[in-house]
Structure 1
Amino acid sequence: MRLRRAGASALLIECRDGDEVEAWRDEMSRRREAGDLRVIDIVPGARTLLLDGVEPGTAALIESWPAPMRTVDGHREGSLVEIPTVFDGDDLNDVAERWNMTPERAVERLAETNFTVAFCGFAPGFAYMRGLGEDAAVPRLDAPRARVPAGSVGLAGEYCGIYPTASPGGWRLVGRTAETLFDVRREPPARLTPGTRVRLVVA
């Protein structure tokens, strides 16, 4: 872990991998709830954690804490969201071939995976979900599609994501859902937020 200042009132924790990010996110959330940390927002990224709106002296306070240890049993679990999914994506066969299995087995693997939202980005409500592992990582398309329909379920790298709105995109599409994942009239607008557990349920 490396701690850097980010502007006048923010700190950036640089981590070695996604597991360390989740460990620090859990720790910061726990300490905020306990009153040990005063911060406006905790924003995870792929390899970083941004603490926005911190008070003076927070950096020294964090540096005095022991590094958090993350285990499967010790992970602070968020709420579980089940997403009904039709697995008929244009790239499903390609993904199955890269995984050296049949499309049917690839669907089973996706449905059996316990995903966790690591962070959000790219577009409002777009959640980057971890759970497949690095051995299942697949590259983005060489040329992105001009338009990916809302609700499309795709894979890129070790992440799984669901397009909340129609947009260009280069993720490999494996399925689709009719669920609304971003609505400005809701609070919060995004249904999938960092820490949320997600299961893709065969529809």
Structure 2
Amino acid sequence: MTLSLEEKYALILAKERQMAYGLAKQLIPKPETSVWMIFLPVLFVHHAFNIQRYKKSIHGFADNYTKTRKKALDLALVAMEEGRGVQIDLETCFPSLELGDEKDRKICEKQLGEIRVLFHHYKRLFEVRGKTWQNLVKEAYGEAGKYRAFLNELAKAEKEVTRYVTRTLQTSDAAREVAGKMEKIADHLREEDVRVVF
């Protein structure tokens, strides 16, 4: 027995969220506890506040990270359910985009490349049989080299978006440092996936 499209959708989305949370937890530093919190309760209250802020940051990052992936996944699901191609353009993917803001339009255009790569990947996963995310990937790609080629294509598309953002919107050294760190963590997590699946 194989999974339905909706079950595969849920499985793929859960995996993307797992990746987002894994990335966020390595990227965003967790507040440290101190022995002084036992002796000075006011420090514990401050620490509890920082922990809540940390959790919100993790959730916010993960939600934003998965937005592009969810757009691509939704498009792939529609394509599979309706048995037809879908348009991957600004109007379809970013319907509320105001065309007057050049920077917003450009970043959305860059994100379209990422959405296209993900769309084809998700469609590929929808087309095969499997009961787990690992089964779907193994069946869709057959070997580690082919899956790694997809991951490299995805990383390239993501870097295009990041490069544009760090050149035009977030131009500080700190932003470039965070972007570089995020790319390294994502590469590491993806390599772990390759090892787990193959």
> Please, what TM-score do these two structures have when normalized by structure 2?
0.24
Q: Which has the higher strand share?
A: 1
State the structure with more CA Rg.
2
Q: Which has the higher helix share?
A: 2
Instruction: Work out which structure has the larger RCO, using CA pairs closer than 8 Å and 6 or more positions apart in sequence.
Output: 2
> Please, what TM-score do these two structures have when normalized by structure 1?
0.23
